[in-house]
Structure 1
């Protein structure tokens, strides 16, 4: 087994993924060079010179372990996460959510990294990747133009620049008395899609609500560059009331088998996971606020009156790679195995998800340095579900790779029949048991035993 203390790893990017990755490698004895372009250069979103700067909300979302994100919090606490530990130490009152005093949070992470003797911090923009040595790319959604061009040279394809994310609906919350299975003209499997039919009156009411609904205003650094193939639904609606009916909501090739009639328009739902527990609203990327999405979609779209939305639609600037097709099992580049990718650049969305991905990459790199095979977390855990999303294992073949938060829709389905009201608790209990069995393989420095029941900091 190799001596990890003799092998240096470079981590590019000191956001949440990069700092977590660097910290976990250093704790395990690996010398780390942490590269960050601040303070010499900042992206338009950054204001502080501290590491792990929170550029948007100060909330790490729900801390309830029976939510998918709260479960991820618990798992990272069990692993001794830098990000979760720093969040708990700088917590501010926010009800069910884990919110932090953002400047102290970033300062805590910065200081804890500086205290590690085997972490060397190097400031300045990285425009070209070194030609040798193990490297983790954790540059996030606002990767600089120069480094983006450099990464495209290594991955062999253009990086995506704008997320166009459609909502995801829980399968058991869709009214199957309204929805019918059918592909347009019977293409593909013939019944690959669920269709929610709309009459003419229902369609025009929906269009009016979309046009009047409250929208998020883009950040100053986000010029709204939309691809014609994935325009926000409100942009299409503003081009004309019938635009959506000739676009993603076109009813051609579809007939409602229950009525024998052709709908005026349809909302198509595409299977998000192989078990059919989650369904993507095809073409429904939007800048409507999350509250407006829930209100309009639930009141105006037949079959979604009781819908549980696992993820809401959004569009914002991002830079990410087609991870399922480019990355190997250990999250290294298939074509250049010395390069690993961590955080939002892999297609995870959110502060905590980025940190979690950085942690997983640290474990994979550490295993590589030791010359042993890495064992990813169980698929049934929140960590494992994110890993399955990045590697493509959570989705059907040829599923388009889009960033996502951790949601139960990317977890493997529960065994047997579980009441809807009990599902969240069942996901959490199953994950807790499976994580406990996996934890020893994570090699947590100084840990004797740990689990999900660690006392949360006040």
Structure 2
């Protein structure tokens, strides 16, 4: 039986291993966690989601829905697991990240045609067939090997993750349930919303701009952020109203206490099937942890928030796919080496 060696037990690596097994070949799946952790992962589970827990829109006839529907019809393991572990989130397919990772891990571990090796790969041998799906948090040693193979230095940008708060610490006398424009797949109000008036918003922006941040390891003017996942400090620096036209936009929401649209809103999305935790949507940041607690507790409804995870910034590595890869995602110079997922230059869970 032909063996395919797959580096990385994330979304792309697990889906690759599953499809290799379905095609009648043997998959050797390498995952360095938990023996060696990354700056953002917390567990050794396969397919651990470290950023958002949303797989984007399920509204029919949109591009994200179409991509997911194609994957379902092609027998995607990840789409099947997502359907079984979803949590309420309006039009979005959002999952309980722990149950999702556990579901994928069980499926991969129980598949006889897949062997999992918990080790870091640092060398790519020419005689094997490889799928490199090591993701944006590829280890330095493997990144150097990829650079040697391709003749290109790796590219990277800085990405960030949002804080998560304990549900019981949210003040529900202030926060209210609503989906934007009243839209959700099942007619329920899936988001929690923390409203701010103008004075509260202005004070919050001042605090964000003044907050201490984690020092960068490279000069500030060399840092490139992913525009769709900017830290709130970076958004605030672009103008005082930028946040309320971005992640804090109040459109489509009415505060039931006032009967009016708030000046700004912070939305919270359910993290788990138990509904015991919520993430602050679009509130990725790299403030120091103590500063995050102080600044984010200025948000009405979160004044007593208990943080289960603070926001962080991490580096995302990828290759120059258009220059290096053919239509089949094979290296043009080494056709026995394939790339899959975010390291190939795509962005997004489902796209990976």
TM-score class, shorter: 0.5 to 0.7
Change (3 A) 1:104 1:297: closer
Q: Distance in 2 between matches of 1:140 and 1:117?
A: 25
Aligned residue in 1 for 2:340: 342
Query: Does 1:324 find its partner at 2:268?
Result: no
Q: Secondary structure of 2:351's partner?
A: helix
Q: CA deviation at 1:15?
A: 0.2
Q: Alpha-carbon deviation of 1:57?
A: 2.1
Q: Does 1:159 align with 2:143?
A: no
Residues 230 and 83 of structure 1, relative CA distance in 2, 3 Å threshold: same
Q: Which structure dedicates a bigger proportion of its chain to helix? A: 1
Distance 2:151 2:33 in 1: 28
CA distance in 1, matches of 2:325, 2:136: 18
Q: Distance in 2 between matches of 1:65 and 1:226?
A: 44
Q: CA deviation at 1:137?
A: 0.3
The gaps in structure 1 that reach 5 residues or longer are: 1-5, 165-207, 233-280, 301-313, 355-458
Correspondence for 2:81: 86
Alignment of 1:309-388 (within 5 A): 317-354=315-352
**TM-score, normalization by structure 2:** 0.60
Secondary structure of 1:332's partner?
Answer: coil
CA shift in 2, pair 1:23/1:286, >3 Å? closer
Query: Given the alignment of the two structures, is residue 225 of structure 1 paired with residue 218 of structure 2, yes or no?
Result: yes
Q: Distance in 2 between matches of 1:299 and 1:94?
A: 21
1:39-118 map, 5 Å: 39-118=34-113
TM-score by length of 1: 0.47
Deviations along 1:42-73, one digit per CA (max 9) or x if unpaired, are 11211111100011222222221333222222
d(CA) in 2 for partners of 1:115 and 1:322? 35
Rounded to whole Å, the distance in 2 between the matches of 1:103 and 1:13 is 18
Aligned residues: 247
- Return closer, same or farther for 1:25/1:322 CA change in 2, 3 Å cut-off: same
Residue 75 to residue 321, structure 1, CA distance change in 2 (3 Å): same
Alpha-carbon offset, residue 84 of structure 1: 0.8
Aligned twin of 1:422: none
223-232 or 34-43, larger mean C-alpha shift? 223-232
> How far apart, CA to CA, are the structure 2 residues paired with 1:321 and 1:219?
29
Cα deviation 1:418-439 (Å, max 9, x = unaligned) = xxxxxxxxxxxxxxxxxxxxxx
Asked if 2 retains the 8 angstrom alpha-carbon contact of 1:64 and 1:71, the reply is: no
Is the 1:65–1:74 Cα contact (8 Å) retained in structure 2?
Answer: no
Runs of 4+ more than 3 Å apart:
211-215, 217-220, 222-232, 284-300
- Report how far residue 223 of structure 1 moved: 3.8
CA distance in 2, matches of 1:294, 1:92: 34
Tell me which residue corresponds to 1:287: 231
Tell me how far apart the structure 1 counterparts of residues 229 and 35 of structure 2 sit (CA, whole Å).
36
